[in-house]
Amino acid sequence: MDLRQLRYFVTIVENGSLAKASRQLFIAQPALSQQIAKLEAEVGKPLLVRTARGVTPTENGTALHHHARFMLRQLDQALSIARQEPGTVHGMVSVGLAATTVCAVGVPLVQRIRQRYPGIVLNVVEGMSGHLTQMMQLGQLDLSILFSRDAIADLPAEPLVAEELVVIVPRDSALVPPRRTRLTVAEAAQLPLILPTGIHGLRRRIAAEFERRNLPMRVVAEIDSLSLLMACVRRGMGATIKPMAAALAGDEVSREWRCLAFSDAHLTRSNYLYSVVPEHLSPAAAAVRVELRETVRGLAQTGRWPGTELLAPAAAREPELAAA
C-alpha cells in the first residue's frame, strides 16, 4: 500500500464516481481502477461497491476512508512544517464553526489570520454542531467551537463565551408591540415560531424551558438552514429564538432586527473551543487557536458580539446543549 493509492481511494469516495475522480486526478479511469484493485488486493477486502449510479464504500472502505483522510492530512501538515522557512508559520488549518458563530466570528478571524499569519491558509468549515463534532472525532478538523463541555471526551476544550438566547423579529414586525424590549416565556409561546428541528440541542433547550412551564409552542416551521430560517422571519412568517449572533450583519446587529430578551428566564448557550491533542497540533494550528481565542475575547469585550459574556475556565457548570 502506498500513499498514492490512498489519495486515489479518498478522492473516489468523496466524488462517488470513478469517472469524476479520474477527471479530478487527471488519471485515465482504467489506470485508476487498476490502482484501486491493487489496494483491495492488499487489504484483502472489497472497499467499493460499483453500480451504474457510481461507487459507494463498503463498511471496510468507510473505515479506511476515515483513517486515510486523517493520515493524509497529517502528512500534508508534516510536509508543510518541513518546507517552511525558519521563523515563519505556514500550513493549512481547518476550523469548524456553526452558522451563527460564523456570523459573529468568521470575518474578524479571517482578517486577523491574514494580517498576522499570511503563510497560513485558513479552511473554515461551516456546519451544525453534530457534524462538526463528528469531523473533530475523525481528525478532519484542527479546531472547532462546540456547545457542550463534554462533546468530545478525549479532546481538550476551553470555555469561551455564553450567548444569551433571545426572540428575534423584524424591526417592523406586528407580532410584538413596537415599544417592547423584553418578553416573558408565556408571551413568546403565543408567537408563531420558526425553529431548528428537534434533533438539535438549541431546540431541545428551548422546548425544555417551555415544557417546564407547561407552555405549548406554536411552531409553524422547522428549518435547520440559518439563512433560510432568517429569510422566513424577515418576511414576517414568524419569530425565532436564537443567539443574537443570528441577527448580525457585518460587525453589528442589523437595524432590520429586534432582539427581545426574556424577562423571566435566563436562556444561554455556552461556547467551547476544542482542539486536537497537543502532540497533533501543528504550529499553524496552535497559532490559529490563540488567534481564535483572542478574536472571540475581543468581540465579546467590545460589544461587537452582542449578547455574550466571557466564561472563566471553571465556569459553566450547568448542563449544556449542542446546537447549530
Cα distance between residue 33 and residue 18, in whole Å: 8
| Stretch(es) of the chain classified as CATH 1.10.10.10 | 3-80
Task: Please state which of the four CATH numbers 1.20.1250.20, 3.90.1150.10, 1.10.10.10, 1.10.1370.30 is assigned to the domain occupying 3-80.
Answer: 1.10.10.10
Confirm if 311 and 119 have CB atoms less than 8 A apart: no
Residue ranges for the chain with pLDDT beneath 70: 1, 77-78, 80-87, 249-254, 314-324
Q: Which CATH class is domain 87-161+271-310?
A: alpha beta
pTM for this model (two decimals): 0.72
Cα distance between residue 178 and residue 173, in whole Å: 8
CA 306 to chain CA centroid, nearest Å: 20
Taking residue 47's Cβ as centre, other Cβ atoms within 10 Å add up to 22
pLDDT at 237: 97
Cα distance between residue 159 and residue 149, in whole Å: 8
CA distance to 16, 310, 324, per residue, from 54 (Å): 6, 49, 32
pLDDT at 264: 95
pLDDT at 217: 95
| Stretch(es) of the chain classified as CATH 3.40.190.290 | 162-268
Cα end-to-end distance, the chain, whole Å: 39
| Stretch(es) of the chain classified as CATH 3.40.190.10 | 87-161+271-310
pLDDT at 81: 61
Cβ-based neighbours of 228, under 8 Å, separated by 6 or more: none
pLDDT at 324: 47
Cα distance between residue 224 and residue 227, in whole Å: 9
Task: Please state which of the four CATH numbers 3.40.50.10860, 1.20.120.420, 3.40.190.290, 3.40.50.970 is assigned to the domain occupying 162-268.
Answer: 3.40.190.290
Confirm if 97 and 124 have CB atoms less than 8 A apart: yes
CA distance to 180, 188, 210, 263, 300, per residue, from 184 (Å): 11, 6, 11, 5, 26
pLDDT at 315: 44
Burial of 250 (0-12, 13-18, 19+ CB in 10 A): exposed
* pLDDT, tens only, 228-241: 999 999 999 999 99
